[in-house]
Structure 1
Amino acid sequence: MIYETIRQLAKELGNLDRCLDKGAAHAEALKFDTTVLLNSRLAPDQYPLVRQVQAACDAAKFGAARLAGRQPPVHPDTETTLPELKARIAAVQDYLGSFSAADFAGGAERTVGINWMPGKGILGVAYLNELAVPNFYFHLTTAYSILRHNGVPVGKVDFIGNLPLFDI
């Protein structure tokens, strides 16, 4: 279950990457700089788009690393352009693609420390289902919503992406 979930997060990052492409095309068509999108937010106390993308990437890589008992790669939140954000997404997708199902053996029972709550831990299965995945989708959905709020023509199909359909 963990491996399949991590694969899904990688897929969703690809969908986010394509939404950013649509954002770039929208900015070009309307003749405004993409930094307008990157600095946009839905509320004054909320992270802007650039940080939402960084946080979605972090949630995915930290989730995989912690459940496999590995150290995640370091990405110092320095991106300021769409190409830089897209490179970060690609790097995290590559990292997620480096895992096999065997890497997560015992991950559901592994104790995961919570870095902002020293001395507290959570079982891997609860970490995955109650923190890692919801946190990832929170930031992914907010990034999508910021783009949509700014007129970028993205929809549900862009968010969900391709489905592994077959004839029945």
Structure 2
Amino acid sequence: MPMSLHDAFVPSARQILIGMKGLVDKAEAFVRDNGLQDSELIDAKLAEDMWSLPWHVRACWVHTGYAVRLVMDGEFTPDFTEIPSDWEAMRTMLDDALAELDGIDAEALEAISGQTTGFILGGKRLMEMTAANFLLSFNQPNFNFHAATFYGILRMKSMPLGKMDFMGPMRVLGS
């Protein structure tokens, strides 16, 4: 049986989002345990022309549950109107993304997988793809980039993290 669009996108996104929630918890503890100000991590960027930590949380939200919700209607416009300002707001945004993913009807997503999705930015329709290709070749790579950048910022700030912290709970037999 071929893999459904839901199976190709949702479980992996959930896994990494859960890992990110753990990273937020560890970052908050790292700040507290090392006598740092929250802003030393929250305002950190990998490079001056890149986004800070909370922007990457927002981007992960945008490219997961929010994206699927919009793809169901055939048009995607990124939403960066609400950037989380603290650890709790980051956790809440990650929880919201997880809740949206949990609410996705696998059959409904499969039903629209071949339909056209337009990417709208600045009021202009910049490209069109099938829903499946949009989620798997646009949203999924964007999501993974922002999740990895979030992790990279924390490592750059000397947090003792490993790959397993990033990966979240894997889907192993018996779990």
Q: Same fold (TM over 0.5)?
A: yes
Which residue type is aligned with residue 24 of structure 1? E
Contact map agreement 1:67 1:110 (CA 8 A) in 2 = no
Measure, in 2, the Cα distance between the counterparts of 1:20 and 1:98.
23
Residue 85 of structure 1: CA displacement? 0.9
- Alignment partner of 1:53 out of 42, 54, 57: 57
Which residue type is aligned with residue 148 of structure 2? T
Which runs of structure 1 show a deviation greater than 3 angstroms over 4 or more consecutive aligned residues?
A: none
Q: 1:4-23 CA deviation, whole Å, 9 max, x = no partner?
A: 21232122111101011111
Percent sequence identity is: 19
Partner of 2:151: 144
Contact map agreement 2:115 2:130 (CA 8 A) in 1 = yes
Measure, in 2, the Cα distance between the counterparts of 1:69 and 1:7.
21
Partner of 1:25: 29
Measure, in 2, the Cα distance between the counterparts of 1:83 and 1:27.
14
- Alignment partner of 1:37 out of 41, 55, 71: 41
Unaligned runs of 5+ in 1: none
Which residue type is aligned with residue 64 of structure 2? A
Unaligned runs of 5+ in 2: none
Measure, in 2, the Cα distance between the counterparts of 1:162 and 1:91.
18
Contact map agreement 2:74 2:116 (CA 8 A) in 1 = no
Measure, in 2, the Cα distance between the counterparts of 1:70 and 1:155.
38
Partner of 2:18: 14
Measure, in 1, the Cα distance between the counterparts of 2:33 and 2:99.
31
Q: 1:24-53 CA deviation, whole Å, 9 max, x = no partner?
A: 111111101222111100101000111011
Partner of 1:158: 165
Q: 1:91-124 CA deviation, whole Å, 9 max, x = no partner?
A: 1111111112112032320111111252631112
Which residue type is aligned with residue 79 of structure 1? P
Higher strand share: 2
Contact map agreement 1:19 1:144 (CA 8 A) in 2 = yes
Measure, in 2, the Cα distance between the counterparts of 1:121 and 1:70.
9
When normalised by structure 1's length, the TM-score is 0.89
- Alignment partner of 2:81 out of 76, 80, 98: 76
Secondary structure of the structure 2 residue equivalent to 1:105: helix
Residues 157, 2 of structure 1: CA spacing in aligned structure 2 closer, same or farther, 3 A cutoff?
Answer: same
Which residue type is aligned with residue 111 of structure 1? T
How many correspondences in the alignment?
166
Q: 1:138-160 CA deviation, whole Å, 9 max, x = no partner?
A: 10000010011111122111111
When normalised by structure 2's length, the TM-score is 0.86
Task: Identify the range of structure 1 (105-114 vs 15-24) with the bigger mean alpha-carbon deviation.
Answer: 105-114
Q: How does 1:104-115 map to 2 (within 5 A)?
A: 104-115=109-120
Which residue type is aligned with residue 135 of structure 1? N
